[in-house]
């Protein structure tokens, strides 16, 4: 079948852009890659075509796909997988999921990884300074190393979104957004966390129209513009620092206290175009189709202030990505999966690792270690079954 010419509007550091291109390459689809971070005219063309200030945007004839939309990509370009049963299905390909996959593959277990992205939220870290073996490395570069190791073992990775899981006899049945079905004798859940939202009614309206939850992806589109970053942790402060290098001005909106490391705070203080609003919260988003400003309120005095900005980047934390487990697996009041010291969950044969679990430390190195533990437990579980 001859497919129409495909264009992918992307930025160099965008992990989701890389996933779109990897998906197209996997399915043998030729495409033209257009870097809108470097080409202002191409950026304007992308906005005109899609209405989006967010990448990736994929255009195929009359079809426009915004983001890494697995269901639409598979519907347009993909092929269904053959019905077969795997020893283990791993949900998620962040540090925990990829490590688990390497360990199960080395144990000669038939392994499939089903994931919306490769790298998880680690991809969005500008700089990682506490992972052993690296003085400093970006999240994208570190996850590329993880991915390369997994590829060497020829692990089957399916880019798709899991919708629900059931059990039929001895098999777990996993159904996806693109209506694929996968069967496995065991599961490892490593789906990590997803961004929290402000809870404002206007958020859906401005997502991709000035509101972003991925600075790594969208920051290049706001060169020499006025932006705001919301949050007070390491992610928010490092995002503000990086944006301070390309944007005209950056407003850092911190609800209570800054919790960032002293090293980052020192760098922040030396950035002349970053203004910190301590003790403020965002109460409204303003604009006419595209974001043009925000309203912030002093939490102590109640005084409100309007700030003109072209973009807002949310860095207010994450919540567990466990919605698809409703009615199948036990989660706690926070949505996290309770596990014992060996990654066992409430269901025999189902294991979990990384930031999606109740394990306290939400760190890349801990997630990787937990992924290895979960894989070894799966191997033992399957050996005992046989």
pLDDT at residue 314 tops 50:
yes
**Does residue 239 share a domain with residue 308?**
yes
Going 10 to 13 to 16 to 22, the CA torsion angle's sign is: positive
Q: Decide if 117 is inside a domain.
A: yes
Higher pLDDT, 361 or 350: 350
Query: At which of 53, 77, 101 does a domain end?
Result: 77
**Does residue 266 share a domain with residue 125?**
no
**Does residue 322 share a domain with residue 289?**
no
For residue 14, the model assigns a pLDDT of: 85
For residue 221, the model assigns a pLDDT of: 94
Strands 156-159 and 211-212: unpaired
**Does residue 148 share a domain with residue 59?**
no
* Separation between Cα atoms, residue 49 and residue 195, nearest integer Å: 27
Average per-residue pLDDT for the chain: 92
Q: Decide if 28 is inside a domain.
A: yes
For residue 1, the model assigns a pLDDT of: 44
Tens of pLDDT, residue by residue over 225-240, are 999 999 999 999 999 9
For residue 12, the model assigns a pLDDT of: 87
**Does residue 244 share a domain with residue 295?**
yes
Residue 127 main-chain phi, psi, to 5 deg: -150, 130
Provide the domain count of the chain: 3
For residue 82, the model assigns a pLDDT of: 61
pLDDT at residue 101 tops 70:
yes
Structure tokens at 109: 């277990």
Tens of pLDDT, residue by residue over 116-138, are 888 887 876 767 878 889 988 88
Mean pLDDT of 323-345: 97
For residue 216, the model assigns a pLDDT of: 82
Tens of pLDDT, residue by residue over 150-160, are 888 989 998 88
CATH number for the domain harbouring residue 19: 3.40.30.10
CATH number for the domain harbouring residue 185: 3.50.50.60
pTM: 0.78
Calculate the alpha carbon distances from 372 to 64, 91, 116, 187, 353 in Å: 39, 14, 21, 14, 9
Give which of 104, 188, 101, 109 is closest to 151, Cα–Cα: 101
**Does residue 265 share a domain with residue 223?**
yes
Answer for the pair 378, 384: CB distance below 8 angstroms, yes or no: no
From the number of C-beta atoms within 10 Å of its C-beta (0-12, 13-18, 19+), residue 114 rates as buried
With a pLDDT cut of 70, the percent of the chain lying above it is 97
Please name every residue paired with 250 in a beta bridge, in sequence order, or none if there are none.
227, 274
Answer for the pair 180, 90: CB distance below 8 angstroms, yes or no: no
Mean pLDDT of 56-60: 94
pLDDT-derived band at 80, boundaries 50, 70, 90: low
Of 48-57, 79-88, 259-268, 281-290, minimum mean pLDDT range = 79-88
Q: Decide if 113 is inside a domain.
A: yes
For residue 25, the model assigns a pLDDT of: 86
**Does residue 121 share a domain with residue 50?**
no
Owning domain of residue 219: 203-314
For residue 282, the model assigns a pLDDT of: 98
**Does residue 326 share a domain with residue 188?**
yes
pLDDT at residue 99 tops 50:
yes
pLDDT at residue 27 tops 90:
no
* Separation between Cα atoms, residue 100 and residue 189, nearest integer Å: 10
Contact residues for 120 (Cβ-Cβ < 8 A; gap 6+): 92, 93, 94, 95, 96, 97, 143, 192, 354, 355
Mean pLDDT of 317-338: 95
pLDDT at residue 79 tops 70:
no
Q: Decide if 268 is inside a domain.
A: yes
**Does residue 233 share a domain with residue 276?**
yes
H-type alpha helices, 113-248: 139-152, 203-206, 215-218, 234-244
**Does residue 269 share a domain with residue 242?**
yes
Query: At which of 77, 93, 124 does a domain end?
Result: 77
pLDDT-derived band at 186, boundaries 50, 70, 90: very high
Catalytic residue numbers, as ranges: 214, 217-218
**Does residue 14 share a domain with residue 163?**
no
Q: Decide if 1 is inside a domain.
A: no
**Does residue 373 share a domain with residue 288?**
no
């Amino acid at each position: 079948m001859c497919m129409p010419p495909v264009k992918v509007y992307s930025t160099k550091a965008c992990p989701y852009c890389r996933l779109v291109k990897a998906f197209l390459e996997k399915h043998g689809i030729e495409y033209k890659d257009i870097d809108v971070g470097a080409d202002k005219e191409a950026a304007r063309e992308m906005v005109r075509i899609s209405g989006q200030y967010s990448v990736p945007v994929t255009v195929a004839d009359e079809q426009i796909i915004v983001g890494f939309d697995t269901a639409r990509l598979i519907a347009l370009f993909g092929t269904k997988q053959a019905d077969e049963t795997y020893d283990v299905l791993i949900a998620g390909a962040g540090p925990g999921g990829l490590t688990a996959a390497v360990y199960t593959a080395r144990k000669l277990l038939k392994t499939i990884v089903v994931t919306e992205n490769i790298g998880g939220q680690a991809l969005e870290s500008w700089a990682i300074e506490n992972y052993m073996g690296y003085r400093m490395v970006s999240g994208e570069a570190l996850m590329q190393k993880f991915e390369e190791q997994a590829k060497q073992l020829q692990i089957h990775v399916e880019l798709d979104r899991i919708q629900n899981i059931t059990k039929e006899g001895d098999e777990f049945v996993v159904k996806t957004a693109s209506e694929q079905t996968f069967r496995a004798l065991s599961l490892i859940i490593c789906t990590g966390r997803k961004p929290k939202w402000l809870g404002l009614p206007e958020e859906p309206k401005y997502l991709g129209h000035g509101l972003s939850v991925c600075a790594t992806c969208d920051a290049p589109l706001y060169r020499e513009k006025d932006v705001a970053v919301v949050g007070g942790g390491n992610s928010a402060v490092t995002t503000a620092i990086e944006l301070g290098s390309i944007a005209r001005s950056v407003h850092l909106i911190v609800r209570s206290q800054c919790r960032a490391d002293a090293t980052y705070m020192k760098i922040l203080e030396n950035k002349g175009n970053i203004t910190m609003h301590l003790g403020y919260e965002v109460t409204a988003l303003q604009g006419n189709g595209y974001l043009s400003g925000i309203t912030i309120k002093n939490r102590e005095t109640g005084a409100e202030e309007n700030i003109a900005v072209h973009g807002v980047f949310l860095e207010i934390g994450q919540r567990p990505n466990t919605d698809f487990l409703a009615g199948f697996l036990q989660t706690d009041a926070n949505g996290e999966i309770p596990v014992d010291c060996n990654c066992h969950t409430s269901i025999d044969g189902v294991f979990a690792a990384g930031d999606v679990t109740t394990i306290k430390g939400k760190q890349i190195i801990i997630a990787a270690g937990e992924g290895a533990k979960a894989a070894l437990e799966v191997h033992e579980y399957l050996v005992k079954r046989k």
